[in-house]
Structure 1
Amino acid sequence: MAANSKKLYGTSSGEISCEQLKVLYLHNNSIQRIANLDQLIHLTHLYLQWNRIGKMENLNQLKNLRKLYLSYNEISCLEGIDDLNFLEELHLEYQNVQPQQEFTFDVNSLIGISTSLRELNISGLQLTELKILKTLPHLAKLSAADNNFETSDYIASSINHLNCLQVAVFAGCPAQKRDIHYRNKIILGSKSLEMLDNKEVNEVTRAFLKSFDRIKTEQKQKLTNTNSSCNKAVDIDIREDLPLIHSEGIAFDVTNIISQAIVENIQNKPWVKFREEDTQ
């Protein structure tokens, strides 16, 4: 049933009475409150985007709902869908709320949709965290563009457990704008990602990045071990009271020379270092 762009201000039973209705279009109206949909128990698709709805309510009776569109309203909290255990798609992007008001999530509602939800759009909600993803392990598509995620490492760690995730969008967040390695880090953070910010992620790219990351990690570990060995050797062998050696107006600090000799012998680099002193 299509009732979009009809300048409706509510969802009353007088306006909607088809009990066998499965798809209902109510977008692009002036609806301020969700109400009187209780009888539509067979509804699977509900389109309520581009209205003036301020709260998610009176939806739990729609137990067969698969797709719910509530984007571009005035909602500030995901709530009231505890019993929508078959919901597969939820669209909440770009709510018209106060500039500094961050969108929040009701735990019971997240638990209610945790096993069924496959697609989530939370773009433009001024979010700084992605903790909600811990309760949504079956997500295949995530749109979270234009939020306030600061680092690529945080995004990567937040999606690491989403083994079904195929499509993700984080474009427009600070991490994407500032970090030149943003894309590589996100790809490495997901085992299943096929599209990132509308660009394909192929297996050749993933394999190359994994190989490069492994080599980089091994090199860092070697350097850490080398430094640890150097520090230990210096602590054991170097005395602090060795004198300076003078030769042709140049003073050599024996302690520094021996320290550098031990370190540079391991690292295979030139080690001689001297300092000039004013001679009287």
Structure 2
Amino acid sequence: MVRLTIDLIAKSRNHFKKKRGLSFPDYLKTLTHLHFSSKNIEDIGDLSMCRNLTVLYLYDNQITHICNLGFASNLTHLYMQNNNITHLDNLTNLQKLSKLYLGGNRIVVVEGLEKLCELKELHLENQRLAPGEKLLFDPRTLLSLAESLCVLNISNNNIDDIRDLTVLKELQHFSAADNKLHNMEELEDEFSHWLQLLRMDLSGNPVCKKPKYRDRLITVCKSLEVLDGREINELTRQFLINWKASKEAKKKKNIKHMRTGPLIPYPLTSDFNMGQGPHPGHVHSHANVQRWKPQQSLRAPKLQIPVCGLLSHMAVSSPICSHVDA
């Protein structure tokens, strides 16, 4: 088993030979970049003497878990893609970490990043998952990254739902290609929260085959510059936004018309009480109208009156109109 230790660094010509004027302990204190990619490393030993380490390259190895990095409080870049990592452990002391590369591992749940408040890039593409598994996110981790994360790559991880990612309001670059995203309406709602989004890649998802897929996302993501590798023309975006606004306005107008319908001034009835007082539709003064007392109440026969002729019929049949002084 190959283990990354101080002794392994001492044997590396790529490092110590560059600063021959320094003693080895002093050299380790000045070391900021450590390159040990593709060395068949399976474990990380004690590197605490490298207290000023800022960039660590450990990609393309056989590392199964992250350990012994608690000393690296100045670390800003960690490259550990294409290893055998299954869990995200022992990262709480890396509070200055800005970029974390973990693609091509065996991670199922993204967790344990609650202390990484300065993390701007998180790369998790191409996890080697068991059949039926998909990449999941701990809500606590997402919430802790909401104000800092700008770049997220989760391509090819069997993901069919990204609603939990809505809290990442500072995202500028988002890649979720070759997953199983299919619900267009959900995506429109989620992307409407990402006001800073500039580049997005959803190619290879079932949703890409939906009608007007590209047009609909362009109108929702108003800051988007590149979608699925293709630049967005600003004139095209403005046309689509105006078209959508016009379509929605027309739809609202039709719904309102259907709800209100044609107005009928008075309720229809086939029974007219001849002894009733003046109809509300007629206005008369006391001087011009004689007091009329019906001798008997007559019930008119039932009539079939069209709506359009209702007012004229009522005017003719009202007893008040026949008792007005000349």
Does residue 202 (structure 1) correspond to residue 233 (structure 2)? The answer is yes
In structure 1, how many angstroms separate the alpha carbons of the residues matched to 2:109 and 2:184? Answer: 26
CA RMSD of aligned residues (A): 2.0
1:1-280 residue pairs with structure 2 within 5 A? 1-13=34-46, 17-176=49-208, 178-228=209-259
The one-letter code matched in structure 1 to 2:40 is: K
Aligned AA (2:183) = T
Deviation of 1:218 (Å): 2.6
Aligned to 1:270: none
Give the CA deviation at 1:108.
1.9
Structure having greater relative contact order (Cα 8 Å, sep ≥ 6): 1
SS in 2 for 1:10: strand
Contact 2:95–2:116 (8 Å) recurs in 1: yes
Counterparts of 1:33 and 1:4 in 2: how far apart (Å)? 16
Residue 227 of structure 1: CA displacement?
Answer: 4.2
CA shift in 2, pair 1:3/1:17, >3 Å: farther
Residue 98 of structure 1: SS of its match in structure 2? coil
C-alpha distance in 2, partners of 1:116/1:122? 17
1: distance between equivalents of 2:231 and 2:83? 34
Structure 1 pair 223/69, CA: closer, same or farther in 2 (3 Å)? same
Distance in 1 between the 2:262 and 2:82 partners? 64
Distance 2:172 2:221 in 1: 12
**Counterpart Cα distance in 2 of 1:36 and 1:118:** 27
- Equivalenced residue count is 234
Evaluate the alpha carbon distance shift between residue 96 and residue 219 of structure 1 in structure 2; reply closer, same or farther with a 3 A threshold: same
CA apart distance, 1:100 = 1.0
Residue 85 (structure 1) shift: 0.6
Deviations for 1:78-116, whole angstroms, at most 9, x for unmatched residues?
A: 111110111010001110011211211112212222211
Residue 151 of structure 1 deviates from its aligned partner by 2.4
Q: How many angstroms apart in 2 are the aligned matches of 1:3 and 1:155?
A: 40
**Distance 1:232-1:169 versus aligned 2 partners, 3 A rule:** farther
- 2:25 is aligned to none
Taking the aligned partners of 1:221 and 1:81, their CA distance within structure 2 comes to 45
Q: Which amino acid aligns with 1:210?
A: I
Aligned-pair CA distance for 1:152? 2.3
Structure 2 letter corresponding to 1:60: T
Question: Any stretches of 5+ residues in structure 2 without a counterpart?
Answer: 1-33, 269-305, 307-326
- For 2:255 and 2:116, the matched residues in 1 are separated by 52
Deviation at 1:145, TM superposition (A): 1.1
Give the alignment's TM-score, normalised by structure 2.
0.67
Closer, same or farther in 2 for the Cα pair 1:119/1:220, shift >3 Å?
A: same
71-80 vs 96-105, which deviates more?
96-105
Would you say the 8 A contact 1:91–1:122 is kept in 2? yes
SS of structure 1 residue aligned to 2:248 = helix
C-alpha distance in 2 between matches for 1:160 and 1:126: 23
Q: Which amino acid aligns with 2:95?
A: K
Identical pairs, percent: 35
Local SS of the residue matching 1:6:
coil
> 8 Å contact 1:156–1:188 — kept in the other structure?
no
Counterpart residue number, 2:4: none
Q: Deviations over 1:198-233 (max 9, x none)?
A: 111132111000111122223323433444466999
Q: State the distance in 1 between where 2:243 and 2:138 align.
A: 41
Larger gyration radius, structure 1 or structure 2: 2
Tell me how far apart the structure 2 counterparts of residues 69 and 17 of structure 1 sit (CA, whole Å): 24
